[in-house]
Amino acid sequence: MRVLLLEDDAMIGEGLSRTLAGEGMSVDWVRAGGEAEAALADGGHGIVLLDLGLPGAEGLDLLKAARSRGFDTPVLIITARDGLDHRVAGLDLGADDYLVKPFETRELLARMRAVLRRRACRSTSHLVAGAVELNTETHELSHADIVHVLPAREYALMHALMERPGRILSRAQVEERIYGWGEEVESNAVDALIYSIRRKFGKDIIFNVRGAGWMVQKS
């Protein structure tokens, strides 16, 4: 899962980036308001961690503007502002949760899981493409009576493909969905993930479109 971290404090940002990466997530860390606005507009993240005190922008204004555009990605506010008015304002403007600094990373991870569970229940906890089914809560992939819990990168790849079955994703599009900005990606990284998934489920789970990319069958 890709996480958008909007945090100007270097120590907190570096610590959270390491922690989240250690949990198998890709982190795009943005420190300033203007860049944060662009990152929110780009999309493609599974969750946003939003500090309210970004240079050049008020976090609540960023949240309000994003939600007004139809931005539906879960947002968890992380801030030192502990007043009731700030908490109420953040939640009323569309935040899914509000966590006051300082906090333990275990609590942050637990709150992230809870937010994602709630969102999954609101929509659907399963993606289906033909005979392939992906559980977005447990990360279980099933195909032809074979079931495996996917590692983080493999899950992100299958999630990207199964969101739009029948649509071809290029190598660049796949890399954008499963790796963070500035993260070094080996030339065969995507191929290695696909090879690993096919070893578990068979070659026909992911279709290669020569010169274009990959797709999963629509039906």
pLDDT exceeds cutoff 60 at 9: yes
- Tell me, what's the pLDDT at 121? 64
This prediction's pTM:
0.65
- Tell me, what's the pLDDT at 165? 87
CA-based nearest residue to 132, from 140, 143, 124: 143
Instruction: Taking residues 202-215, report their average pLDDT.
Output: 92
Is 157 buried (19+), middle (13-18) or exposed (0-12) by CB count in 10 A? buried
Domains and CATH numbers, the chain: 2-122 (3.40.50.2300), 126-215 (1.10.10.10)
Contact by Cβ (8 Å): 75, 50: yes
Model confidence pLDDT, tens digit, residues 97-122? 999 999 999 999 999 999 988 876 65
Read off the pLDDT band of 124 (50, 70, 90).
low
Q: What percent of the chain has pLDDT over 90?
A: 56
Model confidence pLDDT, tens digit, residues 125-168? 778 888 899 988 788 999 988 999 999 889 989 988 988 888 99
Between 8-12, 43-47, 58-62, the lowest mean confidence (pLDDT) is in: 43-47
Strand order in the sheet with 140-143: 126-129, 132-135, 140-143, 146-149
Overall residue count recorded for the chain in this entry = 219
pLDDT exceeds cutoff 60 at 123: no
